[in-house]
Structures are given as structure tokens and as C-alpha cells.
């Protein structure tokens, strides 16, 4: 059964002609999990024929606009489609208040479905969901506001080896992350900058492509997928070259691109 990660956007603070804001859909054996919800997320879902009804859980890494501005529009469309199934939103403190503002001041009616908030907090990994197909853990990142990565561990099916996916954005290098995601099959990691701009990466608490690759290598990840590229770079091939020098099995996230994690894949150790 498939386990896939589909990119809906891989820009950072500013969109470009090619790149929408950050959002991804993780599909584990037919169940969809939305990771972040930047502006334009629902449009990308439409383009890719991913039904809003399949989304039951939304995981927000942090409350920066490029990761959450798509949420009010997504919720509004769900309401207009007469959704009745509950929607679970996992996010750091403040998410509920942000959405209350939207409902209070923009004249929107109460949604047609329950929204259940799960506030994410803590200094280390904590399980936030046990779903039918996977267990999900949140762990702190190193950013300018409280931010959390998410680790999805597939539940085992018969004798096959369970797979895992980690999602780390936005973050500067954090010494504990490799241990928290050790042996992960697929690591999505932000690479906002190139090493030539390491000073800016440090200043804004982001990572370079090289630093993301170092995290993947330290974690013994199987595959690294880079995204959240700064709009200052006109093309992204340099991200791939820089990361592959350190971690050869690196790929670039791209809108509409779906990365599949094969069941027989064995992560490096
Ligand atoms: Zn961001
Ligand atoms: Zn951010």
C-alpha cells in the first residue's frame, strides 16, 4: 500500500512564479494528513484532484503566515461543501486564537463541522495522534517562534516493515533532531538558504541545504527532500548540488511532485 508525500508548495516567506507557499499532503495507505497550510493550499489541492473530504488531520508547524494563511480559506470551503466530519488541527499555542479572529471579525458563520484543536508543546518528542495507519509525534524545532516538526511512524501491516516520514520546517540546525528521527525513511527538511548565505540562515533561524543534508546524514535517514526555498534564488539546482555533496540521496520538493516511500526500502544506518 502506498505511502506518499505530495508537495503543494515549497516557497518560503515570498511566493515566486513557480513556487506556492509551504504545504504538503502525506498519504499513508489511503489516509491523508495535511502538513502546513500556506496561502493557496486549497487551490493546489484542487489542481491535484485531492478531495478536501479526505483530510481529517492538519498539522501546523508554526504560526508564520507562509504556513497558516491558507487555513481560513480551506475551512471556509469545507463549510461551503457542507462538511460534517470533525477536523483535527495540531499546532503550537495561538492557532485557536488566530482562527477565532477570523470567525469573529470576517463575518463568517460557525463552520458546519467541529474543529478540534490539539495544542502542541514540549521540549522533546511527544505523541500527538494514534491514527488507524500511523502514530504521529511532534518534536520542537529551533526557530524564531515556537515551531514543531512531525514524525509519522506507519503502523505495521502483517510482516512488512513499517515506514516513517519526518517533516522539519522551519528550523535552524538543532542538535537533538537527528536522534529524535533516527533511521527515518524520508526526511522533508527546509533549506531556505545556500551555504553562501549561512549568515542569513543563522540570523533568521533557518537552515542551509548543507545543514539539512548534515541533519539527514546524522539521523541516518533514507532519503532527504528539500523545500521552503528563499525567493532570492532564481533557480534551485544549487540546493541539490550543495546537499548531495554531504548526503547523496537528496531530492528537491516541487509543486505537484509526489514522492513515494517504497515498502521494501531499507534506511541507511
Ligand atoms: Zn516558513
Ligand atoms: Zn517560519
Ligand at minimal distance from the CA of 67 is: 1
Which ligand does the CA of 22 lie closest to? Answer: 1
Give 141-197 pLDDT, tens digit per residue: 999 999 999 999 998 877 878 899 999 999 999 999 999 999 999 999 999 999 999
13 CA distance to ligand 1 middle (Å): 6
pLDDT of 23-55, one tens digit each?
A: 999 999 888 999 999 999 999 999 999 999 999
Residue pLDDT, tens place only, 48-75 = 999 999 999 999 999 999 999 999 999 9
Instruction: Give residue 170 CA to ligand 1 midpoint distance, Å.
Output: 6
Q: Which three cell numbers stand for residue 128?
A: 500527538
Upstream peptide bond of 63 is cis (omega within 30 degrees of 0): no
Which class for 199: exposed (0-12), middle (13-18), buried (19 or more C-beta within 10 A)?
A: exposed
Rounded Cα distance between 121 and 44, Å, is 29
> For 3-257, which CATH class?
alpha beta
pLDDT for position 7 = 92
Please identify every residue annotated as catalytic: 66
The CA 97 to ligand 2 mean position distance, Å, reads: 18
Report how far ligand 2's centroid is from the alpha carbon of 95 (Å): 14
pLDDT value for 108: 64
**Residue 13: nearest ligand to its CA?**
1
Amino acid at each position: 500500500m502506498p505511502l506518499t508525500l505530495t508537495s503543494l508548495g515549497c516557497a518560503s516567506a515570498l511566493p515566486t512564479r513557480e513556487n506556492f507557499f509551504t504545504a504538503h499532503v502525506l498519504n499513508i495507505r489511503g489516509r491523508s494528513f495535511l502538513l502546513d497550510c500556506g496561502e493557496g493550499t486549497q487551490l493546489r489541492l484542487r489542481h491535484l484532484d485531492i478531495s478536501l473530504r479526505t483530510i481529517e488531520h492538519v498539522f501546523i508547524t508554526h504560526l508564520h503566515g507562509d504556513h497558516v494563511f491558507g487555513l481560513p480559506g480551506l475551512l471556509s470551503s469545507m463549510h461551503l461543501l457542507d462538511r460534517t466530519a470533525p477536523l483535527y488541527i495540531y499546532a503550537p499555542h495561538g492557532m485557536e486564537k488566530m482562527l477565532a479572529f477570523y470567525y469573529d471579525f470576517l463575518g463568517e458563520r460557525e463552520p458546519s463541522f467541529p474543529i478540534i484543536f490539539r495544542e502542541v508543546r514540549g521540549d522533546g518528542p511527544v505523541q500527538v495522534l494514534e491514527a488507524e495507519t500511523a502514530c504521529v509525534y511532534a518534536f520542537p524545532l529551533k526557530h524564531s517562534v515556537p515551531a514543531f516538526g512531525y514524525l509519522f511512524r506507519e503502523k505495521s501491516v502483517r510482516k512488512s516493515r513499517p515506514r516513517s516520514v519526518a517533516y522539519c520546517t522551519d528550523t535552524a540546525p538543532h542538535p537533538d533532531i537527528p536522534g529524535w528521527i533516527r533511521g527515518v525513511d524520508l526526511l522533508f527538511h527546509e533549506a531556505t538558504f545556500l551555504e553562501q548565505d549561512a549568515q542569513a540562515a543563522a540570523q533568521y533561524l533557518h537552515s542551509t541545504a548543507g545543514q539539512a543534508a548534515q541533519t539527514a546524514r546524522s539521523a541516518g535517514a533514507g532519503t532527504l527532500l528539500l523545500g521552503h526555498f528563499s525567493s532570492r534564488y532564481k533557480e534551485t539546482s544549487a540546493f541539490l548540488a550543495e546537499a548531495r555533496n554531504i548526503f547523496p540521496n537528496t531530492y528537491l520538493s516541487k509543486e505537484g511532485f509526489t514522492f513515494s516511500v517504497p515498502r521494501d526500502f531499507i534506511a541507511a544506518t
